[in-house]
Structure 1
């Protein structure tokens, strides 16, 4: 069998838990997702409705699906949407997780940038470099500024945290 990962697929974290990023999976990616990733949860950060074939795939493989509606980091409710994503990420019970947007560039890049900043303690330079790699050199100045300025009042249960999280709040 030939396995084809989704557009812009990459691991974000590969420790005791696995966290991945990508663009919107297409039917030709389903075998890869099912046979290689063994996902428990998919988080879609975007603006498309769930397609019938994707819904069928998720149901067939018992994958929890979370739709976090977001057009961009300029959305008025973006703080609540990011907190919703972070709540899922900081709960070990949801792993393995795939976070995707439509093309796996800007929206998922913002989410991963926030994970890198808040949960892993990455430098701004490293976050910007990773964002740039996945955005194809199309700098999203607004996105990068959003990542830099983002903070949360989220309260987490330390006993549910995945091992990669450095939560010092």
Structure 2
């Protein structure tokens, strides 16, 4: 804090007065700490990589996760999940950097090419959803990540069918789907989940059938 004096004539007289003016330095908030950066290498815990989850990332069940398409910025986060498998629901080839990441971490890729149709021209292939669901339910593939492009429709349908196996009521299945799809909610997706027949999966262990809502 500093002070300075200023002399000012009043009404043209020789009388002067001294005005003390205080100059207060602006108070700025303390700097925010940098984002937490973590990585694990051998027995050493190092601070050098940002843990950033993919778009729409969430835990579905024990060792089952969902998200949108992960990019290179998400690789450190995915490493922390110790994934064994990825279920990819788009028809486009997996990008080279992503394939290299999978190879370097011993992660198996299961691709089920479901087109990203928009209503009213939606044709969700039930056979591919069933095959993908078999992979998701096989504990030998866990921990596992399910993803499509945005983690909304194709991923939402697959997770919704899993919820039916877990005996969730349709209201709860739809609520979860809508939470991720938001304004992009599709009636056709919900209709597909409603009509999906889970009877062929009744042989599942009880651990998969115990999550009720």
TM-score, normalization: structure 1?
A: 0.86
Higher Cα radius of gyration:
2
1:94-139 deviations in whole A, cap 9, x for unaligned?
A: 1111000100011100011100012x10011001111111012322
**Whole-angstrom CA distance in 2 between matches of 1:106 and 1:149:** 16
Could you say which structure has the higher strand fraction?
A: 2
Q: Does 1:149 align with 2:188?
A: no
SS at match of 1:25: coil
Pairing partner for 1:7 from 44, 55, 64? 55
Pairing partner for 1:29 from 67, 74, 80? 74
Name the counterpart of 1:53: 97
In the alignment, structure 1 segments of 5+ residues that lack a partner are none
Contact conserved, 2:51 with 2:76, CA < 8 A, in 1? yes
Q: Which runs of 4+ in 1 moved over 3 A?
A: 72-76, 152-158
TM-score, normalization: structure 2?
A: 0.69
Name the counterpart of 2:172: 126
**Whole-angstrom CA distance in 1 between matches of 2:181 and 2:201:** 31
Determine which structure has greater relative contact order: mean sequence separation of CA pairs < 8 Å that are 6+ residues apart, divided by chain length: 1
Contact conserved, 1:90 with 1:165, CA < 8 A, in 2? no
Could you say which structure has the higher helix fraction?
A: 1
Pairing partner for 1:66 from 110, 123, 129? 110
Q: How well do the aligned residues superpose, as a CA RMSD in angstroms? A: 1.9
SS at match of 2:65: strand
